Structure formats: C-alpha cells, structure tokens
C-alpha cells in the first residue's frame, strides 16, 4: 500500500489552490488536493469534498470513484448542458454580443451619419464583433471601441457648442427684430413666443405646436396682405371711375349747355306754336338724356364705393383673425389655458391693478400627483386626458376673473385677483374635493387624479417669479406631507 504521509499532509493544507499547485509535480497528490479544495466549498459540494477527502485518506478508491461519479453526474454534466441550452450562459453571451453589435453597427452608426468616418468605423466594429469567436484576442477590438467612444465624445462636445452658438445667434437676431417692430405688432407676439421657447427646454409637442401656430400666423398674414392689396385696387378703381365720370359729366354738361343756348335762340326766333312745341320736345329729350347720364354715373360710383367697403370689411375680418391667431402664441395648445407668456402679460396687468386699487392678488401652484406613473400606466393619451380633466375641474371651480396657466408639464399656476390667502386656499381645496368626487374616465376606465397645491399672496412690489417660488415651496411641502393637499405660504 502507498504511504499515507503525503496524503495526510495534503489533507491538512489550509490553501486548496496552493495544494493543487504543489501537487502538480506528484500525480498522487492531485486527488487529495482536489478533495481538500472541494471540501472548502459550501453546501452539498463541501459534503462531497469531505467524503472524498476521507476516502482518499483511507485509500478507499471505490468510495473515491463513487464520489467523483456523483460529482460528475450531478454537477458537471448539468452545468455543461446549461451552457448549450437555449437560455444558457453561452446563449446569453451570444445574445449580448449580438446586442452590442447592433448598438455599435446599427444604432450608433445611424446617429453618426453626419460624420462619415466615425459612422464607417462604428459599422466596421459591429461587423468585427459579429465575426469574433471565443478564444480570439479581444484587445484590438477593445482599443478600437475605446478610440471610437473618445472620438464620439469629442465630436459631441463640438456639436453641442455649435448648437448653442447657433441658438444664441438666432436669439440675437430675433431680439434685434423685436426692437425694430412697432408696439402692438402681431409679429412681436410671434418673436417673443419663439424666444421664450428657445430659452427653455421644449419637448417635441411644444415645438410642433409653436410651429403650427406660426404657420397659421404666416397664412393669415398672407391673406391680410392680399386683402389690403384688393382694397387698394378697389379704391384706386373707384377714384378712376369717379374722375372719368366727372369728366364725362363735364362734357355732357357743356354739350347740354350749348344745346340749351341753341334751343334758346331758336325759341326766340320761333314764328309758330308748332315750332315752339318741337323745340320744347328737344329740350325735354336733352334734359332726360343728361339725367340718365348722371344717374348712370351715380350708380357706377355707388357700386365702386360698395366694392371698396367690401374690401375694407375683408381686411378688418382678416385683422381680427390675425389677432386670434396671435393669441395662440399666448395659450397652451393642449389645454387651451394660458402659457408662460400669457401668464406673464396677465400678471403685469393684475399686479398693477392690485397696487392701484390696494387689493390682494393670490397665486396658487398646482401640480398633479404621480403624473409619471399615470403616463407609464395609461400612456401619453391618458396623461393628456388627465391634464384636460384637471383644467376642466379648475374652470368649473374658479371664480369669474380668475385665470389658469400651464407652467410646466403637469404644473399649473392659478391667478386669483382680489382673493386673500384664506379665500384662495378655500377655492383650491374646493376644486380638489370636486376632483376627488369626479374621477377621470378614459377608454372605459376610471382613473383617480389628485394634485398638491401651494398658495401665496403677493406682497407689495413682489415680482411674479418670486411669488411663484413661494407658492412652489408650499406645494412641495404639501407633496412631502402626503400629497393631495393644499398648503399656504405665510
């Protein structure tokens, strides 16, 4: 029988990895070292290791073979099969590689289309990842990926700087254009609306709504210019007709006067009643002809005047439509309430009135609770329906003269002229209770919608943004206190 000394020495080793390394020079020590390493593992594998260690120490090779076979069947075979299974580690690795290839070779390459060199490198990297096989050196691919990421970062920074510069130049151009316009010009509203949009971080919906509003304004202005041109043409035609008729009437009057003088001479030299009668008939015929000519000229002038008045009426109607289209720049396209610009203009009017009449001016910030979750559950259509529902409840609950403005995504500002802090708080709470009693119904489902609100009253000389910040802090306190409540900023 072989000596047990080396086996026993291996069994008491405290470092299985070191034991395996030391056993590399003596095959007899490999099995004890493996048993020692297996025994150090937790659970069933540790039990197998301890059984194998005992059998090795006792040189019970039958038990050793049984333990090793159990280890092979129960653990190694199942692990090997899991690698080849559809959802196994190998399959997951392949899926991960395919996802990385698509991210580099398809998605990133498409985004880098304005930079052909980087786009080509990204596509080439995607193809290289597709062709890579396990065991092949990844270092070259890793270097290329790192270099591509570096170049993308550099160009992204340059692109962002160019975009900021272009936006600032565009804003400067709009500012200069705004200064050149007359006060009250419809174009001032357009320019101010676009500048406000550039100053913030608008989403796609806001940009599209502003674009549509500007297109409508351009269309209305084109109609207005056409109407003004038609009005000028009609006025010009009326004046030409008037002058021509005056000239014609002058000619007719001169001819009539000459004929009257001839008739007068003939009457003076008439020798019989019959001759006088013929002259009288001629005089009456000439007078009737002059009257007909004058009536025709009058009718034509009246028709020309009616045409001018109709053209002026069209111009006035177009101007009214243009003012209505200009108002779109001051309203939120989704809910129909004021936007930030509309709130700014109205606040200036109401603040001046409050100071002039020495009466309070309350402001409330209303923010929907859990709006992101609502959007995630019911989609953007559900979120839009919730916003419109809240606006409808606010309109029904506020007083005449109160105003609503959409200040952000799901945030609204209420302007309550003449309301004290207690009055404004009671008004908003009343709306809150009505909203709880009438949940939103969307696509056949009942969706409860709540909001938190903060209320503040304007102090003498207080600017709009400062007042909104005070109400906003009270609103966030209401959120932290449990939501669906109204707090006042004292």
List C-alpha distances in Å: 222 to 218, 226, 320, 322: 6, 6, 14, 10
What are the tens digits of pLDDT across the range 50-91?
888 888 888 888 888 888 888 777 777 666 665 555 555 556
Q: How far is CA 76 from the centre of its chain?
A: 56
Instruction: Give the pLDDT band of residue 420 (cuts 50, 70, 90).
Output: very high
Q: In this structure, what token pair is assigned to residue 476? A: 């966030």
Segment 149-167 mean pLDDT: 75
pLDDT tens readout for residues 168-209: 776 777 676 666 655 555 566 666 666 666 666 655 666 666
Our measurement of the distance from residue 481's CA atom to the centroid of its chain's CA atoms, rounded to an integer in Å, reads: 31
CA distance 362 to 489: 11
d(CA 211, CA 188): 16
The tokens describing 22, both together, are 């030391």
- Round to whole Å and give the CA distance between 248 and 251: 5
- The answer, yes or no, to whether residue 132 has pLDDT greater than 90, is no
Contact, 360 vs 353, CB < 8 A?
no
pLDDT of residue 450: 95
Please tell me the predicted confidence (pLDDT) of residue 267: 65
Q: Residues 85-118: pLDDT tens digits?
A: 555 555 666 766 676 767 766 677 777 777 788 8
The confidence band for 461, taking pLDDT boundaries of 50, 70 and 90, is: confident
């Amino acid at each position: 029988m072989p000596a047990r000394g080396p086996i026993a020495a291996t069994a008491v080793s405290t470092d299985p990895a070191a034991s395996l390394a030391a056993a590399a020079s003596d095959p007899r020590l490999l099995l004890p070292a493996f048993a020692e390493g297996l025994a150090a593992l937790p659970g069933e594998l540790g039990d197998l290791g301890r059984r194998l260690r005992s059998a090795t120490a006792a040189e019970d090779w039958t038990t050793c073979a049984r333990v090793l076979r159990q280890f092979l069947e129960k653990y190694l075979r199942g692990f090997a099969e899991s690698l080849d299974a559809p959802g196994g580690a190998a399959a997951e690795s392949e899926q991960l590689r395919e996802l990385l290839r698509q991210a580099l070779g398809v998605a990133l390459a498409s985004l880098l289309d304005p930079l052909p060199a980087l786009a080509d490198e990204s596509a080439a990297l995607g193809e290289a990842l597709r062709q890579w096989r396990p065991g092949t050196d990844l270092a070259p691919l890793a270097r290329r990926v790192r270099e591509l990421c570096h170049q993308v970062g550099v160009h992204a920074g340059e692109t962002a700087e160019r975009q900021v510069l272009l936006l600032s130049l565009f804003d400067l151009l709009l500012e200069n254009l705004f200064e050149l316009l007359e006060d009250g010009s419809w174009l001032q509203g357009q320019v101010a609306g676009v500048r406000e949009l550039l100053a913030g971080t608008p989403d796609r919906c806001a940009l599209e709504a502003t674009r549509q509003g500007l297109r409508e304004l351009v269309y209305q202005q084109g109609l207005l210019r056409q109407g003004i041109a038609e009005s000028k043409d009609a006025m010009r035609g009326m004046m030409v007709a008037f002058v021509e008729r005056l000239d014609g009437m002058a000619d007719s009057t001169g001819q009539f006067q000459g004929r009257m003088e001839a008739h007068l001479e003939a009457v003076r030299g008439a020798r019989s009643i019959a001759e006088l009668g013929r002259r009288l008939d001629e005089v009456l015929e000439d007078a009737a002809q002059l009257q007909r000519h004058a009536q025709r000229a009058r009718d034509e002038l009246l028709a020309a005047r009616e045409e001018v008045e109709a053209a002026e009426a069209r111009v006035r109607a177009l101007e009214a439509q243009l003012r209505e289209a200009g108002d779109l720049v001051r309203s939120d396209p989704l809910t129909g309430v004021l936007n930030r610009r509309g709130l700014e203009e109205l606040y200036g009017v109401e603040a001046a009135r409050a100071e002039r009449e020495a009466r309070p001016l309350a402001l409330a910030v209303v923010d929907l609770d859990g709006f992101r979750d609502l959007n995630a559950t019911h989609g953007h259509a559900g979120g839009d329906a919730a916003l419109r529902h809240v606006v409808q409840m606010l309109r029904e609950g506020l007083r005449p003269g109160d105003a609503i403005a959409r200040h952000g995504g799901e945030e609204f500002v209420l302007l309550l002229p003449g309301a004290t802090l207690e009055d404004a708080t009671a008004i908003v709470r009343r709306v809150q209770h009505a909203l709880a009693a009438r949940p939103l119904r969307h696509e056949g489902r009942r969706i409860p919608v709540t909001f938190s609100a903060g209320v503040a009253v304007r102090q003498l000389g207080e600017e709009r943004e400062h007042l909104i910040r005070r109400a906003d802090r009270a609103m966030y306190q209401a959120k932290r206190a449990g939501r669906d409540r109204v707090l006042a900023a004292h």
